[in-house]
Amino acid sequence: MREAAISPIARGPAWAEPARAAMSSYDEVDLEDMEWNAELGAFTFQCPCGDVFQITPAELRAGEEIAHCPSCSLVVTVVYEDDDLKELIPEGF
């Protein structure tokens, strides 16, 4: 069976293609490999730009898997199990 071609209208505008490509994840990081930063109230991981990727306990509880760097456009996918949240999130957060 031949695959149907996706029309340009279904794909969206051509100018949106670079933005979609930019949203791909730089890497995957285990939550266990991230550091807890009490000052930020977030788990952090070193970004190549010199800043840190950040994700908060509230974002993790909501099912978020993407940690953002506030200084550049890179993002990482945070890999975790629900049990990790109970063990790794400090009490009070």
d(C-alpha 35, C-alpha 48), whole Å: 16
Angle ∠(87,75,59) on CA atoms, nearest 5: 40
d(C-alpha 74, C-alpha 15), whole Å: 20
pLDDT, position 23: 61
Task: Decide if pLDDT at 39 tops 70.
Answer: yes
Residue 51 and residue 69 in contact, taking contact as beta carbons nearer than 8 Å: yes
Q: Quick one: how many helices (H) and strands (E) in the chain? A: 4, 6
Task: Decide if pLDDT at 55 tops 80.
Answer: yes
Share of the chain above pLDDT 70, in %: 75
pLDDT, position 92: 84
Domains and CATH numbers, the chain: 25-88 (3.10.660.10)
pLDDT, position 78: 97
Task: Decide if pLDDT at 33 tops 90.
Answer: yes
